[in-house]
Amino acid sequence: MTERCQGDTRPRTGPRARTAIVLAAAALLAATSVAFLPGTASAGTTLGASAAEKGRYFGTAVAASRLSDGNYTTILNREFNSVTPENEMKIDATEPQQGRFSYGAAEQIVNHARSRGMSVRGHTLAWHSQQPSWMESMSGSALRSAMLNHVTQVATHFRGQVVAWDVVNEAFEDGTSGARRNSNLQRTGNDWIEAAFRAARAADPGAKLCYNDYNTDNWTHAKTQAVYNMVRDFKSRGVPIDCVGFQSHFNNDSPYVSNYRTTLSSFAALGVDVQVTELDIQGAPAATYRSVVEDCLAVARCNGVTVWGIRDSDSWRASQTPLLFNSSGQKKAAYDAVLAALNNGTTPTDPPTTPPTTPPTTPPSGSCTATLQDSTRWGDRFNSQVTVSGASNWTVVVAVTPPQKVSNTWNGTPTWDSSGNVMTMRSNGSGNVFGFTTMANGTWTRPVVRSCTAS
Ligand code: XIL
């Protein structure tokens, strides 16, 4: 099918001419057996691959206890390229007794994700809820130091493995006051949030540091404005904050509103990334899911969307059936709507850029050939796609130029050398085209394919 773009001035063709064009195109495809057509490779068939084509991730909350459920992990591994531990990184899980840290369940999720090329969002370092009892009963300077020590220990433990941390969760009150939530952490002094961010930055300088909250979706709400003012203040004073997470638990009491996109773009304009971190929608209306994804795609600094569970039966609000898969693991209408939104999504409104112009690299081949092609480019990052021919079980080594960093991959299983600049990608049954997103960090040199070996 041919698509017409805005501004397309070609004469419209009649039905007969169209048939001729379609037949000619089919014949051309058959004759050349093209292995790769930009935008039509296996990306586009799963949430993660489609999001990655747009330079974003599509994630889910994961419970360690469900990783032994084959139906669950099949969907997880097929559809998602980002993971947030649902409870396993919370304070009661990671420091059940003061000074005694417990990372087993969190590591299980992190290892599952990273060994399959999924990134990890860390959730959460400082929160009034799900505190262990020793912390619940603390106050004052003892609590402040215990909180900071917790942030430091946990962020240090997972340094380099978590792309973004929800450093502080839910610190504002609901309703019209715009005030901070009255919690034991708040009572240690109004500067507890910035102190937590500073401790997190020192412990893991490479992770993005987010503030995360709910009921902050409606741009006109006092709580949204209060968080906005805090972020603006942090940015103006150099408090290390990189992103804001919008939980986006939508239901009849707290519905999706059409100014959501304004909220995302207004925060982004402060110079932070925005992320939809815990999406679920009562009844899973397809149109609302679609709107949320379109809103994220319309904001260049919206990095991705995480749904808060895979199947309805995995949801913390299971009776609301708010997720993309039913309890048997079948795709719901909302799934189709999300995938369509990801595939039709608009390109972010970053300044126009010219893709790198060096010709495709064809490496010296063993028994396979890997060809790297430029794909979409944004203001801060770009996608590359690698097409492998001559082998179905392949291993391709790709190098990026420091300080570039690969932030996302799809359709392969990556491992890394100690520098983090050399990625070894292995086939994972998703076909012969894999892709990745490179954060430019100011350097736009094209990644290089070093080798392709068949195994
Ligand atoms: C929820 C989990 O999904 C439940 O399993 C747990 O019992 C309670 O917490 N906001 C957050 C999440 O930031 O951590 C919460 O997760 C949902 C609301």
pLDDT, tens digit, 9 for 90 and up, residues 33-85 = 323 333 333 448 999 999 999 999 999 999 999 999 999 999 999 999 999 99
> Quick one: which of 174, 187, 107, 108 has its CA closest to 147?
187
**Pocket perturbation via mutation, ligand 1, pick of 308, 317, 320, 323 by most ligand atoms within 8 A of CB:** 308
Amino acid at 451: S
* Predicted confidence (pLDDT) per residue in 373-403, tens digit: 888 888 888 999 999 988 889 999 999 998 8
Kindly give the distance from the C-alpha atom of residue 262 to the centroid of ligand 1, in angstroms, as a whole number: 26
pLDDT at residue 178 in the model = 97
- Beta strand 273-281 pairing with 249-250: parallel
What does the angle CA 187 – CA 188 – CA 190 come to, to the nearest 5 degrees? 80
Amino acid at 340: A
Alpha-carbon distance of 54 to 45, in angstroms, equals: 13
For ligand 1, residues with CB inside 6 Å are 86-87, 169, 214, 247, 278, 316
* Predicted confidence (pLDDT) per residue in 406-449, tens digit: 888 888 898 888 888 899 999 988 889 999 999 898 888 899 98
Kindly give the distance from the C-alpha atom of residue 87 to the centroid of ligand 1, in angstroms, as a whole number: 7
Residue 451 banded pLDDT, cuts 50, 70, 90: confident
Atom of ligand 1 nearest to the CA of 212: 13
Alpha-carbon distance of 185 to 142, in angstroms, equals: 11
390: left (phi over 0), alpha (psi -120 to 50) or beta: left
Atom of ligand 1 nearest to the CA of 249: 18
pLDDT at residue 345 in the model = 67
Atom of ligand 1 nearest to the CA of 90: 14
pLDDT at residue 366 in the model = 61
Would you tell me how many other CB atoms lie within 10 Å of the CB of residue 66?
A: 18
**Pocket perturbation via mutation, ligand 1, pick of 123, 130, 277, 278 by most ligand atoms within 8 A of CB:** 278
Kindly give the distance from the C-alpha atom of residue 396 to the centroid of ligand 1, in angstroms, as a whole number: 39
What number is the average pLDDT over the span 92-112? Answer: 98
Amino acid at 226: A
**Pocket perturbation via mutation, ligand 1, pick of 60, 84, 86, 275 by most ligand atoms within 8 A of CB:** 86
- Beta strand 273-281 pairing with 302-307: parallel
Residue bearing the bigger pLDDT, 401 or 306: 306
pLDDT at residue 408 in the model = 87
Give me the sheet containing 413-416, strands edge to edge.
413-416, 422-426, 394-399, 448-454
* Predicted confidence (pLDDT) per residue in 147-186, tens digit: 999 999 999 999 999 999 999 999 999 999 999 999 999 9
Position 16 pLDDT exceeds 50 = no
Q: Which of 123-137, 211-225, 325-339, 389-403 has the least mean pLDDT?
A: 389-403
Q: Which of 124-133, 262-271, 359-368 has the least mean pLDDT?
A: 359-368
Kindly give the distance from the C-alpha atom of residue 426 to the centroid of ligand 1, in angstroms, as a whole number: 35
What number is the average pLDDT over the span 303-310? Answer: 98
Please say whether the beta carbons of 64 and 85 come within 8 A: yes
**How far apart, in Å, are the Cα atoms of 112 and each of 10, 115, 184, 310?**
50, 6, 34, 16
Atom of ligand 1 nearest to the CA of 170: 13
pLDDT averaged over every residue in the chain = 88
> Annotated active-site positions, please?
170, 278
- Beta strand 394-399 pairing with 302-307: unpaired
Position 347 pLDDT exceeds 70 = no
Kindly give the distance from the C-alpha atom of residue 12 to the centroid of ligand 1, in angstroms, as a whole number: 53
Q: Which of 20-29, 57-66, 111-120 has the least mean pLDDT?
A: 20-29
